Amino acid sequence: MTAAGGIRPFRPGDEPALSEICLRTADAGSDATGIFEDDAIWGHIWALPYAERHPDLVFVVEDGNGTPVGYVVATDDTDGFEEWFRTQWWPRFANRWPKPEAEVTRQDGTLLYAYGRGEKPERYAADFPAHLHIDLLPQAQGQGAGRRLIETLFAALRERGVAGLHLVASAENTGAMAFYTRLGFAALPSSPGSSAYGMRL
């Protein structure tokens, strides 16, 4: 596989690649294919809504052949984004993925999370109004691509005067946690099973 190459802004038509990268990294950094009955759920929660709401805050890293192998997606206004997700984005998929009555499976838990987004102010948004998700396929890792994606996003957020940025990762994803610490993110109080980080911009 050709090494990861340049960073570029999101382009319409990148959506299938974003969904695929999200799926292949969604299980605490590992491939989540087949965990849910419908693999598309992952991207529709953690990648595609950002591309629709904030395409100018989505950046893609390509391999040497021009194939997307990683991305960062973000919002500069977490509370506003979550409200939009709740009222405009997620209702489109109510027929495809009805709200479960209870959390019986991991898919149920994820769908209940999606249905609950935007119901109350986000925990970290007051101090760190922006948030991000970043995912890199294995062949793009360890080459500095993640750092370049984050730094590109930092520049875009600073241009908007955003005061701070946060993210939440699975506590099982120890590689990601080490990566965020190296970039200068500080650990924040977190819920069981997750690790949150913040940075002033």
Q: What is the tens place of the pLDDT at every residue in 42-63? A: 999 999 999 999 999 999 999 9
Which stretches of 47-165 are DSSP H helices? 48-53, 78-84, 106-116, 145-159
| Residue 2 per-residue DSSP state | P
Q: Nearest CA to 22 among 94, 95, 71? A: 71
Containing domain of residue 9, as a range? 4-200
- Helices H / strands E in the chain, number of each: 7, 7
Q: Where are the beta strands (DSSP E) in the chain?
A: 4-9, 59-63, 68-75, 130-136, 164-170, 186-188, 194-200
pLDDT value at 99 more than 90:
yes
pLDDT (mean) for 157-185: 92
Residue 29 makes CB contacts below 8 A (sequence gap 6+) with 170, 173, 175, 176
pLDDT band per the 50, 70, 90 thresholds, residue 177: confident
Q: Which two tokens stand for residue 42?
A: 């992952």
pLDDT value at 3 more than 60:
no
Whole-number average pLDDT of the chain: 94
The number of folded domains in the chain is 1
CATH code, domain carrying 159:
3.40.630.30
pLDDT at residue number 73? 98
Beta bridge partners of 7: 61
Residue 91 makes CB contacts below 8 A (sequence gap 6+) with none
Residue type, 167: L
